[in-house]
Amino acid sequence: MCAVTLALAKGRTADRMMELLAKAGIQFPDFHATCRKLVLNSEDGTIKLLFVKAVDVPTYVEKGAADIGIVGKDTIMEEQPNVYELLDFKVAKCQIVVAGFEGKQPEKDKVITVATKYPSIAERFFVEKGIRTELIKLNGSIELAPLIGMSDVIVDIVETGSTLKENGLVILETIADVSARLIVNKASFATKTIQIQQSIKSLKGVLE
C-alpha cells in the first residue's frame, strides 16, 4: 500500500507535533532535534512526512502534493483552502486577537489602521463589525506597529501574553482560539480512503 504524504508546518507546530507523534508510536527513525531533512519516512512505511513552511501547508494539501497536512487554525482561517478539516490536536495553542493600547477600542465612525500578518482574517473580522480599516501587511514584530504610530491596532497571535505586556499593549478583542489541526485533500480522501482512514486512526492515538 502506498504511503500517505503528510505536510507538517515547520516551527512551533512541528516542535509540538513530533513529540506527540512519537508518544503515539508513529516513529521517524531519521528525525532528531537538529534535523534538517525535509522528507522523512515513518518506520512502518505508512507516512511520508514533508516539512514545509506553515503558510504553504494549505497549498500542498489543496493541490494534492500532500494528502494530509498539520497546521495551525490561524493559517487555515487566513488561507481558507478547499480541504476537509478533520482533527484538532489541541497543541500549539494560542489565540488570534485584536490588540492595542488600553481603552483604544476600534470605533465605527473612523477608519482604523490595522497591522497584521493575517490581512484576510482581520478584514473579515472588521467588515462583520462594520468598522472600516486600512490594512498594513507585516511579516513579524507586529507589536512594533502601534508603538511607533504606524497602526492603531494589530491583529496577531497571543500565547503567553508576554510580548504584548512587555510592549505596553493589551488584548482588545479575541477573534479565535488556535491549535494544530489535521487537513485532508478532498480527492485523496476519496481515492486513498483506506490509507487515509488508517493514518487518521493512528493520528487520533495522539489525542488519547
Ligand X SMILES: O=P(O)(O)OC[C@H]1O[C@H](OP(=O)(O)OP(=O)(O)O)[C@H](O)[C@@H]1O
**Smallest separation (angstroms) from ligand ATP to the CB of 54:** 5
Indicate the helix (H) or strand (E) that contains 2: none
Q: State yes or no: residue 15 binds ligand X (CB under 6 A).
A: no
Amino acid at 204: K
Calpha distance 14→9 (Å, rounded): 6
The single residue among 80, 120, 141, 174 that binds ligand X, judged by CB under 6 A, is 141
Q: State yes or no: residue 30 binds ligand X (CB under 6 A).
A: no
Site for ligand X in 96-135 (CB under 6 A): none
Question: CA 79, 84, 87, 90: dihedral to nearest 10 degrees?
Answer: 10
Cα 12 from chain centroid?
10
Q: State yes or no: residue 156 binds ligand X (CB under 6 A).
A: yes
Calpha distance 130→85 (Å, rounded): 29
Contact residues for 166 (Cβ-Cβ < 8 A; gap 6+)? none
Site for ligand ATP in 54-93 (CB under 6 A): 54, 72, 74-75, 92
Task: Give residues in contact with ligand ATP (CB under 6 A).
Answer: 10-13, 53-54, 72, 74-75, 92, 94, 140, 157, 159, 178
Task: Give residues in contact with ligand X (CB under 6 A).
Answer: 140-143, 156-163
